[in-house]
Amino acid sequence: MATKVTTPKPAELAESIKLIPPKTEWMDTPTEIKPGTFCWGAKGKNLGIVEFPNARDWNPSEEDWKLPENWQEIFLKGMKDLLGKYRSFQVFMDICVRCGACADKCHFFIGSGDPKNMPVLRAELLRSVYRNDFTTAGKLLGKLAGGRKLTIDVLKEIWYYLYQCTECRRCSLFCPYGIDTAEITMMGRELMNLLGLNTDWISGPVANCYMKGNHLGLEPHAIMNSIEGMIDDIETITGIRVNPSFNRKGAEILFVTPSGDLFADPGTFTCMGYLMLFHELGIDYTWSTYASEGGNFGFFTSNEMAKRLNSKIYAEAKRLGVKYIIGGECGHMWRVLTQYMDTWNGPADFLDVPVSPITGTRFENAKSTKMIHVTEFTADLIKNGKLKLDPSRNNDLIVTYHDSCNTARGMGLLEEPRYILRNVVNNFHEMPDNTIREQTFCCGSGTGLNASENMELRMRGGLPRANAVKFVKEKHGVNMLANICAIDRATLSASMDYWVPGVRVTGVHELVANALIMKGEKERETNLRGDPLPGKEGN
């Protein structure tokens, strides 16, 4: 018996493939959780290691999220708690006038076109619940006052969009009241963690970092081993064998950097850069295997978890008896170090105000945290003429610079890396003004969104940045994108590969080390990546 096949008419076919945009109000438009956009759910085991509530395996794409029975109560009680603890949250819930200034400032909105990715609407998802349960008008008038009951669909929608925000704060810059979506996302994610709704990509590294000191879960010997590999490579390139120390008591300086740079290219080249620079200066510093993580994925779960992970840095500085701390190139690490660390785990009264052992410069701006950014340290060295540099070794590179969201909008570290770049490369071109410095576009993969399963989302979010890189590539022939963030180094590599093939990604200190003329080095044939230096291509 033959099955009757009906061929659709062309017009019908055209209709069926047309993406029908929502004509309904946003509150009445259901959210579908689409593959490529979300990260896998957390494993119960990892949440259990750090004693999180409601730890269990779960899968966002399944209907049943295995929530505890009283999940609404937990969520709303948690919200009440946070409203009482954070003025930012309370005020930001109350004063938004929905002027729309932020609407098109988000890289995820620009790249996806999904209206719920407008910062104002992302916040309204949570704000509607706030109005319904915490304001008189909302309790009385409900939807008319913009309120919305916390149903399971609402919860899923909030979760979905909380994990499509990288807390980059670009929207906050344009808001007339300084409403910061990062703050709202942080609160939202903290609430989700009360229900065990974390992602695997965040909870795994958190558990690792808690137990082993770094996100990758590198055990002490593995860290040393990895760095030994770099030492070998440095020796091959320069003829010099650098000899860093680990967990050494009595060193003057503790150096902490994101563990991503210990293993993944191109971060490893940046790490080699640090090793070479510190060796050349001959400074008395040590690495730690216990505090072997500058980054803080705990920051993407809850305030308490972030504090727990961060505590290791000061604890280790105290145990080793160092005078102060230098931090490597990383984005959210520096937001945490600048705006949170001292408050959480300070005062660091057992440390001294950082003073450069080479130039004698006293870093007054870090006199309380006692921790300076490596680009502040290096910029000072260059300004005082303490480094012998040959920028022509980077002549094959035409460089542009990407500001990390966190160092730009959570710190204001804008000129230091640029000053270094201008001294170590000869070809440097800025991207357009509305895409750099405080207006910088996110890489699209921050706040623990740099997994693989959500690659489509990452590429959407990365489009505005990549688009600006493409512009300078076409205009100036840019082939290298410099930055000071470990997540950037990993994720922009993928983003460039997709959007702007031919542009590679580097840390600033890789370029420093390429240009750095070290005492007693042999004539270099290649740069740190093993590519022949300009003029040595024939060898």
Query: What is the smallest separation between the CB atom of 536 and other proteins, expressed in angstroms?
Result: 25
Residue with tokens 């949570």: 126
Side chain identity at residue 83, one-letter code: L
Q: Which is nearer to other proteins, 367 or 537 (CB)?
A: 367
C-beta closer to other proteins: residue 83 or 283: 83
Q: How far is CA 77 from CA 17, 81, 192, 272, 301, in A?
A: 44, 6, 12, 48, 18
Which candidate, 330, 341, 413, places its Cα nearest to that of 351? Answer: 341
Backbone dihedral angles phi then psi of residue 146, each to the nearest 5 degrees = 80, 20
Q: How many CB atoms lie within 10 A of CB 112?
A: 19
Which stretches does DSSP call E strand in 290-417? 324-327, 371-373, 399-401
| Nearest distance, CB of residue 326 and other proteins, angstroms | 13
Token pair belonging to 84 = 């009482």
CB of 77 to other proteins, least distance (A): 16
CB of 407 to other proteins, least distance (A): 9
Query: Which residues, in sequence order, are CB contacts of 110 under 8 Å at separation 6+?
Result: 104, 463, 464
Give every CB contact of residue 170 below 8 A, 6+ residues apart in sequence: 105, 106, 107, 405, 409, 439, 440, 441, 442
Q: Which is nearer to other proteins, 9 or 221 (CB)?
A: 221
Look-up: residue for tokens 């971060």? 267
Reference 372, options 413, 315, 420, 319; nearest CA is 413
77 or 98: CB nearest other proteins: 98
Scanning 425-538, the segments in alpha helix (DSSP H) are 455-476, 486-499, 508-515
Nearer to other proteins, 437 or 536 (CB): 437
The residue among 493 and 527 lying less far from other proteins, judged by its C-beta, is: 493
- CB nearer other proteins, residue 368 or residue 526: 368
Rounded distance, CA 481 to CA 496, Å? Answer: 9
Q: How far apart are CA 348 and CA 345, in angstroms?
A: 8
Instruction: For the CB of residue 289, give the shortest distance to other proteins in the complex, in Å.
Output: 7
Residue 259 CB, shortest distance to other proteins, in Å, is 7
Minimum distance of other proteins from residue 7's CB (angstroms)? 16
Q: Which of 62, 104 has the CB closer to other proteins? A: 104
- Distance, in Å, from the CA atom of 513 to the CA atom of 523, rounded to the nearest integer, reads 14
Listed in sequence order, the DSSP H helices in 5-147 are 10-17, 44-49, 71-85, 87-95, 107-112, 119-134, 136-141
| Residue 54 backbone phi and psi in degrees, to 5 | 55, 40
Nearer to other proteins by C-beta: 88 or 526?
88
Smallest separation, CB 459 to other proteins (Å): 4
**83 vs 355 by CB, closer to other proteins:** 83
Query: Which one, 185 or 393, has the nearer CB to other proteins?
Result: 185
As beta bridge partners, residue 41 has 199
Q: Do strands 480-483 and 324-327 pair parallel, antiparallel, or not at all (unpaired)?
A: unpaired
> In sequence order, what DSSP letters do the residues of 333-351 get, joined into one string?
HHHHIIIIIHHHH---TTS
The distance of closest approach from Cβ of residue 376 to other proteins in the complex, given in angstroms and rounded to an integer, is 5
Minimum CB distance to other proteins, residue 334 (Å): 10
- 482 phi, psi to nearest 5 deg: -90, 150
Least distance CB 392 / other proteins (angstroms): 25
